[in-house]
Structure 1
Amino acid sequence: METIQPIAWINQVPFYEVSMRQSMLKLHRDLPPTKIWGYNGYFPGPIFRVWRNQMIRVLWKNELPLKHFLPIDTTIHGAEKDKPEVRTVVHLHGSVTPDMSDGYPEAWFTNGFKEVGPYFSLKIYEYPNKQPATSLWYHDHAMGITRLNIYAGLAGFYIIHDTEEQSLGLPNGPFEIPLLIQDRSFHSDGSLLYPSQPDPPVADVNPSVLPDFFGDTILVNGKVWPYVEVEPRRYRFRILNGSNARFYRLSLSNGGPFVQIGTDQGLLSAPVNVTELLLAPAERADVLVDFSSSFGEEITIKNDAASPFPQGEMPDAQSTEFVMQIRVTKSLSSPDHSKLPHTLTHVPKLKESTQYKTRNLLLNMRTDEFKRNIHLLNNQLWSEPITESPRLWNVEIWSFINLTEATHPIHLHLVRFQILDRQPFDQEIYEENSKLVPTGSRVTPDPNEQGWKDTVRADPGEITRIIVPFGPYTGLYVWHCHILEHEDYEMMRPYVVIQ
């Protein structure tokens, strides 16, 4: 993946230009070239590397064809027949950004920057970068077709650096590698396969939105089952789950640990050793792996997360169980002076207060007119009136009550938050009389979840509580499930931060 450079500096602000284009790329030596949509024609898009408190501006240009090459369901909100087939809007996931540059789903634009929708879309977005060093990612967020646009290739890394992180002596340069993990399926001619119907098919809708998508092939950084050659030294991997719906529970085939140093929103307070790393769609993990005693080994990163998670089928032992290979075959180019500090940064622990507003928010389902399941937030459609209006600088506690059988990764735009706890409850009693009856004690998050987050796994049959400071901007944002098929079909709601 290339690092993008500004095309100009205007009043001491770096200015970037990125065009969304169709390309034909080789994703594996045994596959014919594949048609993709990429930022500047790349899949994944180029890496942004920026510095904390240095604002940048980006001109996002839609230069894509006017017809989509993936199946569009025109029965879902935002993708009706009267909308242009190809619409895009960029969201910088995890960014602390004014609403006009956040990538509101209805602020899409077409080839030639024709702006439509109720919310004006800026051509040039401003990213203040006023947040600690972390790994973010940018991706498409167009209403009703996000799942298709990201599947086509519209995603990339955005990494914020700062002096605190730089002072820690962590592996850097060629020894710091971003890893974007996704799943795809292919036709025999190399083209992307995205089904036009679920299994079983929907009689009266074609194409129809899927309940979720699971590919039979794993890609890392846009390559099918790749390998990387490394030296016998410590490496830093910035891992991002960029799949539509697939969860990953990653492990190393040699039984070695990941030393997790960061999560969605930056560094943890101290390193955490884990032998398994669970990532829902959109979650990130910043990890160190020490290969200093592994020279000559071929180590496989494996996956054993069920799909759907957690109750679905286990990965195929011949395909989706494998993510990539690490070959410790390169000679040491220089002494390894990197460090693993005992302390990484200060993460203040947010504590509950009776002064904080608490919201109980359902994750539930119902059927539509075609007898398909719709996943909902608080039993509301996107188009219903806004019900979440936190005040600027207020702290709120959001409790996600999951009435479904699947884990939902819930993402809030603008803010970062901390996980308070998870607690099982009696689902039958709740569905009968809306009464919450816990069936166990509250469980604090695992040590590697006890940092700042922007996406949280809300497990079935549990109450997942997060504590959220709202700011530093007012305006219109969204919160949603980051399983893209759910997000596109109603599991997304607007919210507004008011003065």
Structure 2
Amino acid sequence: MTEVITERETLVTAPNFGLTKFLDPLRVPPVLRPHLWWKQDDLTVTMRRTAVQLHSQLPETEVWAYDGHFPGPTIEVRSGKRLRVSWTNEIEGKMPLVAVQGPIAQAPGNGPGGYRDADGNLLPGFEIIDGVPDLPAWTVVHLHGAMTNAGNDGWAHNAVLKGFSQLTEYPNGQQATTMWYHDHAMAVTRFNVHTGLAGMYLIRDAEEDGLELPHGRHEIPLLLTDRNLDTDADGALTGQLLFKIPVAPSGAPIPFTGPFNLVNGTIWPYLDVEPRWYRFRVLNACNSRFYRLNLVDETGAVHNDAVRIIGTDGGLLPAPAELPTPGLTLAPAERADLLIDFSKFPGQSLRLTDTSVTGPTEPDLMQFRIEDSHRHDSFVLPEKLSRSYVRLVHGTTVPEDHGHVFVGLVPPGTAGEPHPQMWELQEVEEPPTTLPAAGFIQLTDPSTGAVRTFQKVAQLFDDTTTFFIDHGRWAVWNLVHLGGPTHPIHIHMSQFQVLTRKQLDTQGFDTIVGGTSVPLPAPADGRPIEKYEEGWKDTFQVQAGEWVTVAGRFLGATGEFMYHCHLLDHEDNGMMRPFVVHPPEVAKFHLHPGGGGHHGH
């Protein structure tokens, strides 16, 4: 076993920070199959403080975990089988994080430790994030991707303290899919999830069964996360979780990314596999890191031709899709259902690698060690997957009678706000007499060429609710990105498909005032929608300058739900808003301010 490096200089420069790569086997979370155990339709999952070893060369790390597992147990259910879960909070003590922020240029950058000097004093510019050490375990669970009534959805304000339970009911009336559960407590989601509160949830159905996909020990969840760790006075890694974030020159904290990549709670694990097809349910469970996944051998040669994408957030694709040439980019909260054929590589080792990394982060995520043998594998890659899949098209499979929602994503620094913002927009008949005007955006409709004027009507979570959608109706969400980082936008309650992706010229948006000085010209064609992106999804990458439209039907659940950026630091700092789904018969009796929130009626 390689000895842990303790010299501070080596810790700063070595991409593995003294830890041996591929030393520890991949951990596979335990599976809870409630409908197979005495036909039970209820579970109790208990959150508790526990100690885990992220790497065998590290001391133990304190985390908060579901049933004491990091990540939590994989819950596996049958489509249409209702499940009730009591999420019980029995977490002792305060937040197990050291949370600090400091200047970007401060050595050793975003590596471990590096915020105190040898005497334990904070380095210039660094500060402990006020209030984090005092945070109690205040938790609420969101089943991400589930179509369930709002009372079961994990409303952010409905978190509970130790000694209490959150009672939920999941109808599971969805096709076979990969979902996940995680904490969603108001304003502290980024901290709670970072402590370990995440796990996977799988729905099975007859359509999936008929494909005879790899299963049992040949089907494995891969939850990808990144973390940082503290160091002692000698520079040795302590195992303590370190939530260290840099601060931009504007004073705005930058979302967390860490130098250590974990798969199923282990840093750089390995997995022994047979030379045959395997199925991997891949989830990006990071706070804010994007992964660009490639399969490479020991020489660095890429073998993405051995990989097929068979599903995304909301279930199976109509047919297997190849990985994009540069690799598969997964934003936080996105899922990919992957098949890998190891039969071509007996006796070899392959690595799952993130080719998008910058800074002091080791790009390798894990290693596959292929058995040196030739085994019979009866699995044949099917040409067709989901025969129930229908591609959504505006005006046909999305009926003409549908609602529209407009959301503006505005860059950091807009109107003096250091953080990026999410504006709910309402169309108005007349523009202001003088432009730019704060909160007014003029867009040119790509279909008609007409200039449309929109006004910001809400921004913070607790502003007046403005989006109301009739139960059973289709709605097209227009996500208009006026500048800044890529945002993975997650909409609760339904599943969606990307309809269009256009590219905007955003030069007419005045960030000082917070409005357009001239109407933005009609958008041009944007990035093509790849085959694997045509599937059902609940989380969408929206890049700067893009106007993305997604469509979904709000059927099968009602109540007040949330949508937000799934960069958890952005979500906690204002990029989250509510919307309501209610029966149209009730809607006409509903009085609310302004009368302008009837989007979807």
User: How do 1:260-279 residues align onto structure 2 when only pairs under 5 Å count?
Assistant: 260-274=309-323, 275=325, 276-279=327-330
Aligned to 2:484: 405
Aligned to 1:40: 67
Decide which moves more: 49-58 or 323-332. Answer: 323-332
Do the aligned residues in 2 keep the contact of 1:13 with 1:57 (CA within 8 Å)?
A: no
Structure 2 residue identity aligned to 1:58: V
Residues 377 and 328 (structure 1 numbering): CA distance in 2 closer, same or farther, change over 3 Å? farther
Structure 1 residue identity aligned to 2:549: R
Output the CA distance in 2 between the equivalents of 1:8 and 1:345. 25
Measured after TM superposition, the shift of residue 293 of structure 1 is 1.5
Does residue 469 of the first structure (1) align with residue 553 of the second (2)? yes
Aligned to 1:30: 57
Secondary structure at the aligned position of 2:468 is classed as coil
Measured after TM superposition, the shift of residue 456 of structure 1 is 0.6
Aligned to 1:340: 381
Aligned to 1:396: 475
Do the aligned residues in 1 keep the contact of 2:136 with 2:161 (CA within 8 Å)?
A: no
* Candidates 539, 564, 568, aligned match of 1:455: 539
Structure 2 residue identity aligned to 1:458: V
Q: Over residues 380-402 of structure 1, what are the superposed CA-to-partner deviations in whole Å (9 max), with x where a residue is unaligned?
A: 11111111111111111111111
Output the CA distance in 2 between the equivalents of 1:350 and 1:262. 17
Q: What stretches of structure 1 of length at least 5 have no aligned partner?
A: 74-78, 114-121, 204-208, 306-313
Measured after TM superposition, the shift of residue 302 of structure 1 is 1.1
Measured after TM superposition, the shift of residue 438 of structure 1 is 3.3
Aligned to 1:96: 147
Residues 105 and 434 (structure 1 numbering): CA distance in 2 closer, same or farther, change over 3 Å? farther
Superposition RMSD on alpha carbons, in Å?
A: 2.5
Structure 2 residue identity aligned to 1:221: N
TM-score by length of 1: 0.88
Do the aligned residues in 2 keep the contact of 1:147 with 1:244 (CA within 8 Å)?
A: yes
Output the CA distance in 2 between the equivalents of 1:191 and 1:370. 36
Output the CA distance in 2 between the equivalents of 1:423 and 1:319. 33
Aligned to 1:4: 32
Output the CA distance in 2 between the equivalents of 1:168 and 1:89. 36
Identical-residue share of aligned pairs (%)? 38
Measured after TM superposition, the shift of residue 349 of structure 1 is 1.5
Aligned to 2:243: 194
User: How do 1:23-422 residues align onto structure 2 when only pairs under 5 Å count?
Assistant: 23-70=50-97, 85-113=136-164, 123-187=166-230, 188-195=237-244, 198-199=246-247, 210-254=253-297, 255-257=302-304, 258-274=307-323, 275=325, 276-305=327-356, 314-316=357-359, 319-329=361-371, 331=373, 335-346=376-387, 347-353=389-395, 354-365=400-411, 372-378=418-424, 380-422=459-501
Measured after TM superposition, the shift of residue 27 of structure 1 is 0.9
Decide which moves more: 148-157 or 465-474. Answer: 465-474
Aligned to 2:508: 429
Secondary structure at the aligned position of 1:235 is classed as strand
Output the CA distance in 2 between the equivalents of 1:270 and 1:362. 34
Secondary structure at the aligned position of 1:292 is classed as helix
Aligned to 2:450: none
Structure 2 residue identity aligned to 1:256: H
Secondary structure at the aligned position of 1:452 is classed as coil
Q: Over residues 158-194 of structure 1, what are the superposed CA-to-partner deviations in whole Å (9 max), with x where a residue is unaligned?
A: 0111111011021111111110001001112111110
Do the aligned residues in 2 keep the contact of 1:418 with 1:452 (CA within 8 Å)?
A: yes
Residues 371 and 394 (structure 1 numbering): CA distance in 2 closer, same or farther, change over 3 Å? closer
Q: Over residues 228-267 of structure 1, what are the superposed CA-to-partner deviations in whole Å (9 max), with x where a residue is unaligned?
A: 1100001111110000000001001142222000000000
Structure 2 residue identity aligned to 1:375: Q
Q: Over residues 206-244 of structure 1, what are the superposed CA-to-partner deviations in whole Å (9 max), with x where a residue is unaligned?
A: xxx833011001000000011111000011111100000
What is the number of residues matched between the two proteins? 468
Secondary structure at the aligned position of 2:469 is classed as coil
Do the aligned residues in 2 keep the contact of 1:430 with 1:437 (CA within 8 Å)?
A: no
Output the CA distance in 2 between the equivalents of 1:91 and 1:202. 33
Output the CA distance in 1 between the equivalents of 2:212 and 2:264. 26
Structure 1 residue identity aligned to 2:88: K
Q: Over residues 393-420 of structure 1, what are the superposed CA-to-partner deviations in whole Å (9 max), with x where a residue is unaligned?
A: 1111111111122110000111000001
Q: Over residues 7-50 of structure 1, what are the superposed CA-to-partner deviations in whole Å (9 max), with x where a residue is unaligned?
A: 9989x552111111111111101111001110011100011011
Residues 8 and 227 (structure 1 numbering): CA distance in 2 closer, same or farther, change over 3 Å? closer
Measured after TM superposition, the shift of residue 85 of structure 1 is 3.0
TM-score by length of 2: 0.74
Do the aligned residues in 2 keep the contact of 1:227 with 1:324 (CA within 8 Å)?
A: yes
Measured after TM superposition, the shift of residue 52 of structure 1 is 0.5
Aligned to 1:485: 569
Structure 2 residue identity aligned to 1:491: M
Do the aligned residues in 1 keep the contact of 2:98 with 2:241 (CA within 8 Å)?
A: no
Residues 330 and 146 (structure 1 numbering): CA distance in 2 closer, same or farther, change over 3 Å? farther
Output the CA distance in 2 between the equivalents of 1:484 and 1:178. 22
Q: Over residues 317-336 of structure 1, what are the superposed CA-to-partner deviations in whole Å (9 max), with x where a residue is unaligned?
A: x733111111112656x621
Do the aligned residues in 1 keep the contact of 2:99 with 2:242 (CA within 8 Å)?
A: no
Output the CA distance in 1 between the equivalents of 2:498 and 2:525. 15
Do the aligned residues in 2 keep the contact of 1:230 with 1:330 (CA within 8 Å)?
A: no
Pick the structure with greater CA Rg.
2
Residues 369 and 148 (structure 1 numbering): CA distance in 2 closer, same or farther, change over 3 Å? farther
Secondary structure at the aligned position of 1:253 is classed as strand
Structure 2 residue identity aligned to 1:363: L
Output the CA distance in 1 between the equivalents of 2:71 and 2:99. 22
Structure 2 residue identity aligned to 1:282: A
Do the aligned residues in 1 keep the contact of 2:498 with 2:550 (CA within 8 Å)?
A: yes
Structure 2 residue identity aligned to 1:381: L
Q: What stretches of structure 2 of length at least 5 have no aligned partner?
A: 1-28, 101-129, 231-236, 425-455, 511-515, 584-601
Measured after TM superposition, the shift of residue 199 of structure 1 is 2.7
Do the aligned residues in 2 keep the contact of 1:8 with 1:16 (CA within 8 Å)?
A: no
Output the CA distance in 2 between the equivalents of 1:123 and 1:61. 6
Residues 112 and 183 (structure 1 numbering): CA distance in 2 closer, same or farther, change over 3 Å? same
Do the aligned residues in 2 keep the contact of 1:181 with 1:221 (CA within 8 Å)?
A: yes
Structure 1 residue identity aligned to 2:419: N
Structure 1 residue identity aligned to 2:391: K
Measured after TM superposition, the shift of residue 5 of structure 1 is 4.8
Structure 2 residue identity aligned to 1:198: P
Structure 1 residue identity aligned to 2:210: S
Aligned to 1:116: none
Output the CA distance in 1 between the equivalents of 2:92 and 2:187. 18
* Candidates 485, 494, 497, aligned match of 2:578: 494
Measured after TM superposition, the shift of residue 371 of structure 1 is 6.3
Runs of 4+, deviation exceeding 6 Å: 7-10, 368-371
Structure 1 residue identity aligned to 2:379: S
Output the CA distance in 1 between the equivalents of 2:78 and 2:280. 19
Output the CA distance in 2 between the equivalents of 1:369 and 1:463. 22
Measured after TM superposition, the shift of residue 365 of structure 1 is 4.0
